[in-house]
Structure 1
Amino acid sequence: MASAADDYDSLSAEDRQIRDKQDRAREQEEQAALPYKWTQELTEVDIIVPVPKGTRGKDLAVVIQKKKLSVGLKGQDKILEGELCQAIKVEDSTWTLEDNQSVLIHLEKINRQQWWENVLTHHPKIDTRKIEPENSKLSDLDGETRGMVEKMMFDNQQKQMGKPTSDELKKQEALRKFQAAHPEMDFSKAKIS
């Protein structure tokens, strides 16, 4: 049986546009039917849950766990409840009541390199391949991530010019230092791999 991806790959450009438009419309309809709205970045998920106007914090029952989430009014059925599609950092996740009519939930992802298909596993999924993240600046990134991105950009630029990557340059420098420290050795047949 052919997979949906194989089927998609065999479509013409016009048919792909039609399929994408249908898929987007279906996704929007499914997401609009949820009892909340949600957005995400690679590192976090933000959820807005409407509650009756005049709701106070003490009226709410909100539970945020590593793989579970529930929101509701005390003594009533939950507005949403279930297993999160991915694990979160509970200690960095929060909820607040805004204007006594919506609960804002901020979840910090543990896996900060993966888009979520849905918030709760039993809710409709979105196609994460179609997500277009906002352009971010290198200065927005933490030091470690920024260093990795800069290295990747440098290595890509070097490859395009037919020059050695940063790892290859490090190996060449290590060999030069070793040669300088050991002039008695013959390095004429040395290969760097």
Structure 2
Amino acid sequence: MSSSPTPSEREKADAELKAKEAAEQATLPYKWTQTIKDVDVTIPIPGNFKGRDLDVNFTKMTIKAGIKGEEPIIKGEFPNPIHTDESTWTLETVPSGKEIVIHLDKVNKMEWWPHVVTTAPAIDVSKITPEDSKLGDLDSETRAMVEKMMYDQQQKSMGKPTSDEQKKNDILKQFQEQHPEMDFSNAKIG
């Protein structure tokens, strides 16, 4: 019978995985970061290039970026679609030369990407700690969903019914009141 790993073993395994991921990501010819809403890719290039020397294209599911006439620095399929109208690229001057900065707007704003292109090494998205956000930062639909989840979690922790369970109870109670002739003693809500 195998025992589950101790907290220190889990911590060591997590640290090893994180180091392996960091080493794999460091070998990429670009750097990338993400929030739950978007992905930013930074590609360092020599300082003598101008915007017209670059070939940067992205579609809903693909990207190709690099210097015209050379092998693309990044090329491949996204793990998930982007909004092309909301995604942009710029050429910026930095102390070490220049960088192509690509901003990709995710279609699904509730999903972390394991990589920018599917051929690149993946990161473990389950280990991502999201940045702090305020409920006021969310759109009304997402905010309502988060508030409902928070309420349901609070209700469960107090041993009370969730909003969905309460709704079912209310419907059953209303039906019982409308039909007093029926026996509901063995009724189960599922």
> With structure 2 as the length reference, what TM-score do the two structures score?
0.83
Task: Say which of 76, 79, 92 aligns to 1:82.
Answer: 76
- 1:142 and 2:139 aligned: yes
> Which stretch has the larger CA shift, 82-91 or 67-76?
82-91
Shift in alpha-carbon separation, 1:11–1:175, aligned structure 2, 3 A:
closer
Shift in alpha-carbon separation, 1:93–1:173, aligned structure 2, 3 A:
same
> With structure 1 as the length reference, what TM-score do the two structures score?
0.82
Shift in alpha-carbon separation, 1:10–1:158, aligned structure 2, 3 A:
closer
- 1:117 and 2:114 aligned: yes
Task: Say which of 166, 184, 187 aligns to 1:189.
Answer: 184
How far off is 1:70 after superposition? 0.8
How far off is 1:188 after superposition? 6.4
Task: Say which of 20, 38, 41 aligns to 1:44.
Answer: 38
For residues 43 and 176 of structure 2, what CA distance do their matches in structure 1 show?
66
Instruction: Say whether the 8 Å CA contact 1:171–1:192 is kept in structure 2.
Output: no
RMSD: 2.5
- 1:22 and 2:34 aligned: no
Shift in alpha-carbon separation, 1:17–1:189, aligned structure 2, 3 A:
closer
How far off is 1:37 after superposition? 0.6
Shift in alpha-carbon separation, 1:168–1:10, aligned structure 2, 3 A:
closer
Q: Partner amino acid for 2:22?
A: Q
Shift in alpha-carbon separation, 1:20–1:174, aligned structure 2, 3 A:
closer
Task: Say which of 153, 157, 160 aligns to 1:160.
Answer: 157
> Which stretch has the larger CA shift, 81-90 or 26-35?
81-90
- 1:107 and 2:104 aligned: yes
Q: Which residue of 2 aligns with 1:4?
A: none
Count of matched residue pairs:
184
Runs of 5+ consecutive residues of structure 2 not aligned to the other structure? none
For residues 5 and 165 of structure 2, what CA distance do their matches in structure 1 show?
42
